[in-house]
Amino acid sequence: MISEPDKGVRTAIAGAVSTLAKGVFSAHEEWPELFASLLQMSQDANEGLRVLNFDLLAQLAEQVADQLKPHVATLAQMFVMGCQDASTSVKEAALSATSSLIKELGREPEVMALQCVINPMLGVMQACLQNGSEDTVIEGLDVIQEACLLEQPLVNDHLEVIVQFSLGILQSKDYEPGVQQAAGQTLINIIEFRPKLLAKKNLVAPVLATLMGMIAQQDSSAAGSLFSFSAREGVLGGEDDEDDEDEPEMDVQRLAQTTIDCMAINVPSKYFVEPALALCAQGMSSPDSHMRKAGCAVLGVIAEGCSDRIRESLDNILPLLLQLVADPEFYVRECACFALGQFSEHCQPDILYHNETVLPVIFQALDDPRPTVQGTSCYVLEYFCESLQPATLRPYLNPLMTRLANLLQSSQKSTQEMALTAIAATAVAAEIDFLPYTETICTILGGMMFATEPNMFAIRGRALECLGHIAVAIGDTYFVRYFETGMQSATQGIQLKDESLKEHSFVFIANCAKVMGKAYESYMPSLVPFLLEVIGESELMLLSPEEGEDEDDEDEEGDGNGGYQVQVEEGFINAKKAALTALGALAEHTQEAFYPYLQQSLETLMTAD
């Protein structure tokens, strides 16, 4: 192998050597010449042989890692020399070999001998960033991510350098999304598995400041990325705002926000909350509107992880936040409303005591000319109003319902959808006080509940769901006039090939059953068998080999070799859960009318996946 001049032949021989080594060591034989040859190649003047040495070591690490343990200290020095080689090819090969050995020895104490290679590896990755070898950087970051998961403190002494390297990648606009994703995941792994060490090395505040600065530096609106962070992608994902759809920037903002959320959840509060709230206050008070946006965004992101401390500080936080809901810049208003929505969701019940200051400000935001501000205001109302007592909500109902009814006439589907959700929450909280607004709202809903265009099915489903909540609010006596129309929409909706519409139809059926009870008797012969069919539908699909070869289907997981696959599409699962809820509601509230279906229901439930 050493004397062979042809690179292709040398590589083929290296593959054969690694396979042969596996056989030799499996037979408990010795092969001292192998390591002597490796040492010789690592010092050879021929660049190709030095590259080949590390390529062979990478293969040996995968094949015979246990036999490399006695030599790991020598190999570590070899890797350090390789990472410092004058040749870029040798450096990259050394990094790959180091990565392979760390992965194979990760749970063994011998892996600590490779600690000295971490800094040289980072040096190679820095050089690769400059010469465009981003795949090598991703490979190196991948092994550092794995090292963070190990019990062995392989990366502990290098945490500051790793964090700065990762942040540098995230801050730059020069790198491909794949590299930035890898850098973001590296930070997240450090935060999840080394949170106390991150804090003790005084890295919390610098990391937070950098991430907040990244959010501020993006020219795009934060609404789409905030709502995808908050599991509401598609509701405010950008269709309403032609200025916020710059995907690379959105990716950076999502990465920053996800990383901050991870810190809020994992870093001990005694290290995290004070610097986080101080940075938010500093950003929100800044004369720079982009920093105000970032301050509000970060405050909203940390609301869940820091909810206990934020609840205690609402008196201090809310005045400035409410002021920013009326900021001159729309992207600040969006983020301020988002933060209020997060408070409404995660800071219950304390946030409710501030209804006299919060609700008037949100009412003004509902009149904002920007659809995304209107939508985020509805998000606040959804969580704020659903927990209010009817007597507390009563003085606000008229101005609130006037504005929400106007939003239902919006040309923006996402605004309509959020308004429907807010109306549903308001109805549940207001109870019978909602009655004066029922006819107006239900008339508008009637125009939405029979939409036939697939792109309107989300609105149709939300409208039907909203009608079900109104039923619960006003009771059977007042709702009976709307019941037949609602059931007509629901029974048609469950026949359409749209899982989300099915889910909302089932939710309507479940809510109405609580109120209308035996009024369902005439629907039972067709409705119950359909519910049982949905509930009994298998979560396993038998695919042909041709279907199994399709690996591009993101909604299903399988081995690509035919046979069974598990359906993991979220809409399918949610529709099935909603069907179960509807069946349970019918069984409970239709009483003896359900008896003819009891045996079949029990059999289906006992055999369902």
Tokens of 228: 């995808």
356: number of Cβ within 10 Å: 10
Closest of 257, 266, 159, 144 to residue 208, by C-alpha: 257
Q: CA-CA distances (angstroms) from residue 90 to 11, 41, 68, 124, 271? A: 14, 12, 21, 10, 42
- If phi > 0 it is left, if psi is from -120 to 50 it is alpha, else beta; for residue 567 that is beta
244: nearest Cα among 228, 215, 221, 226: 221
- Which structural domains are found in the chain, ordered by start? 1-193 (1.25.10.10), 202-365 (1.25.10.10), 388-536+573-593 (1.25.10.10)
Instruction: Answer yes or no: are the C-beta atoms of 82 and 54 closer than 8 Å.
Output: yes
| Encoded amino acid at 201, one letter | K
- Which residues on adjacent β-strands are paired with residue 563? 543
Please state, in angstroms and rounded to a whole number, the distance separating the CA atoms of residues 564 and 548.
9
| Closest residue by Cα to residue 297 from 230, 251, 241 | 230
Contact 121, 140 (CB under 8 A): yes
Rg, the chain, Cα only: 30
d(CA 372, CA 337): 10
User: How far is the C-alpha of 20 from the C-alpha of 36, rounded, in Å?
Assistant: 16
Angle value at C-alpha 418, between 412 and 420, nearest 5 degrees? 100
pLDDT of the residue at 44 = 86
Q: What is the pLDDT of residue 594?
A: 93
Closest by CA to 487, choosing from 454, 446, 457, is 446
Per-residue pLDDT of 227-276, as tens digits, reads 554 544 333 344 444 444 445 555 788 889 999 999 999 999 999 999 99
Amino acid at 251: D
Asked if 31 and 25 count as a contact pair (C-beta separation under 8 A), the reply is yes
Note the maximum CA span of the chain.
95
Which residues in the chain show pLDDT less than 70? 1-11, 14-15, 17-33, 220-250, 539-568, 609
By the 8 A CB rule, do 324 and 333 touch?
A: yes
Residues 327 and 299: their CA atoms lie apart, in Å, by: 16
Give the alpha-carbon dihedral of 498, 500, 502, 504, to 10 degrees.
Answer: -150
Q: HSE, CB side, 13 Å, CA atoms: give it for residue 543.
A: 23
- Chain centre to alpha carbon of residue 102: 29
Distance, in Å, from the CA atom of 114 to the CA atom of 162, rounded to the nearest integer, reads: 16
pLDDT in tens, 159-177: 999 999 999 999 988 898 8
What angle separates helix 47-68 from helix 7-26, to the nearest 10 degrees? 10
Query: Half-sphere exposure of 365 toward its Cβ, with a 13 Å CA cutoff?
Result: 36
Task: Pull the structure tokens for residue 20.
Answer: 């042969």
